[in-house]
Amino acid sequence: MSDVTRMGAPERRHLEAMVRRWATYGPALKTWVALDGGMTWKTVSAADYLCRYRQDAETGKKKFTSLGRRSAETEQLYRDFIERRDAAKETVLANRDRMLTAGRVAKAYGLARLPAQVGEILRVLWLRSLDEQLCLFGGNALYAYELETETLAPKELTRDERLSFMFVGDAPIQLDDILDAIEDATRQPARTVEQQERFVVQFGTIEVEFIDPAFVARQAADADQTEVLAEALHMPLVKGLTVARDAQAVEITTLDPRAYALAAHVLGGDDEIWAERARFTAALVRERWPEQFDPRQEAAFPGLCGDPEYQRGYHWP
């Protein structure tokens, strides 16, 4: 591997500005989408009822759900809904063109490297808050660390044969909702290829892999590594902003890079690309990440976490 590529000052400042704008634009966009449709009063048997409605994607007809008879509580609910929706819409419309322009500038800087279809899948999962149940894994996840470390991920490590996710959190997984979201993003029906702890679902030409963190932990070399890795996989997730090749911003939810390095190392026992991702991410942590590997991680994975020779080929200018 050659020396790593540091992010230039103009590129870093541009991404930092995008992140600041996204902090306002992103939540407003998610709120506007969540409040799609509207609320209205419907009269039934001389009584008014507050109804929430949305348009059915297949039939185009409105679907209504009653929220209760007119009262002080339902009137307040109606006012709150209208105020939130209008505020979100105003924020999105005020910032949308600037976000699109910023994305095009990022592309001109060479920072838009995430495949466009992957970006669309991640956006749909994010909009539906399904990224609270799974995080991006695989090579594309490395884009999430770039701004914090001011280091561009090597392109040979970001290539993925499959789009990989790892299940996270303690809540029950809404797998049907996840698959429906990806179907909507790809416009392709889901077809299960392999269903195990590490199973693959195909959407047209795209294969999406879902990995159980317990499966990864069990691949460790010994009990100490298994325990340390299992704990690392429960570390707070990292959110990073990147730009896809369609010049649109994408929020990525992924593992803390220390957890990523340990997981990649374990999977790298029989897969050289994962081994190389482990070496790169471990070097990234050692050289550029604010928090270092803790003593237990260093003791369980001494070569990965503490030996610069293991992290061969990655030199920071």
pLDDT of 189-237, one tens digit each? Answer: 999 888 777 889 999 999 999 999 999 999 998 999 999 999 999 999 9
- Would the pLDDT of 127 be above 80? yes
Query: Is residue 77 situated within a structural domain?
Result: yes
Instruction: Supply 308's token pair.
Output: 């610069």
Per DSSP bridges, beta strands 190-194 and 198-203 are antiparallel
Sign (positive/negative) of CA torsion 6, 313, 232, 209?
A: positive
**Residues β-bridged to residue 152:** 5
Q: How far apart are the first and last CA of the chain?
A: 14
Same domain, 128 and 200: yes
pLDDT of 1: 45
- Would the pLDDT of 121 be above 70? yes
- Under 8 Å between Cβ of 244 and 116: yes
Question: How far apart, in Å, are the Cα atoms of 200 and each of 175, 191, 271, 306?
Answer: 13, 9, 18, 34
Query: Is residue 193 situated within a structural domain?
Result: yes
- Under 8 Å between Cβ of 131 and 177: no
Query: Is residue 294 situated within a structural domain?
Result: yes
DSSP 240: E
Same domain, 301 and 226: yes
Question: How far apart, in Å, are the Cα atoms of 9 and each of 3, 129, 244?
Answer: 18, 33, 20
- Would the pLDDT of 132 be above 90? no
- At position 56, the amino acid (one-letter code) is D
**Could you tell me the CATH number of the domain that includes residue 122?**
3.30.460
Residue keyed to tokens 């920071």: 316
Same domain, 135 and 280: yes
What is the band of 312 on the pLDDT scale with cuts at 50, 70, 90? low
Instruction: Supply 225's token pair.
Output: 């590594």
